[in-house]
Homo-oligomer: A and B are copies of this chain.
Amino acid sequence: MKHMGSNTWAFAAGHIPLKSTGPEPENTSRDELCFLNTGPGEAQVDITLFYNDQDPVGPYQLKIPARRVRRIRINDLINPEAPPLDKDYGAIVESNLPILVQFDRKDTSQAENSILTTTGIPLQ
């Protein structure tokens, strides 16, 4: 299968809940970026995070192997800087090859969890 999707994706409504309920790490409140690389080449991905009170931080660099999915918790990004909890952020994802990206949130700040999802906004 060939590479599908877009080289650039945007997300405007990031926010990792501060609180979590239940055993870690499967019940940790989190924002996740879900990558799908349908093609034969490994994709080199740069994530840049935007905030409301400081300059953008990045790139967070990662690889999506050929013909694989990869799911990244924003909470788990470390280099160049761990993103803060309970703070609004946006994300731009740039890849050297076309990929697909979707955004998932699991909010476990209460006993009964809430979930949401949306596709990224593909750019050119």
Question: Which residues does A use to contact B, with CB under 8 Å?
Answer: 1, 4-5, 8, 10-15, 32, 34-38, 48, 50-53, 55-56, 67-71, 88-90, 92, 100-105, 107, 110-123
Chain A facing B: main interface SS:
strand
| Beyond known contacts A13-B34, A100-B121, A115-B115: 11 more, CB 8 A cutoff | A1-B48, A13-B32, A15-B71, A36-B90, A50-B69, A69-B88, A69-B89, A115-B116, A116-B116, A117-B118, A119-B119
- Cα distance A67–B89 in the bound complex, in angstroms: 11
Chain multiplicity (copies): 4
- Cα distance A80–B111 in the bound complex, in angstroms: 38
Give which listed residue, B1, B53, B104, contacts A13 with CB less than 8 A: B104
Which chain B residues lie closer than 8 Å to A52 at the CB level? 68-71
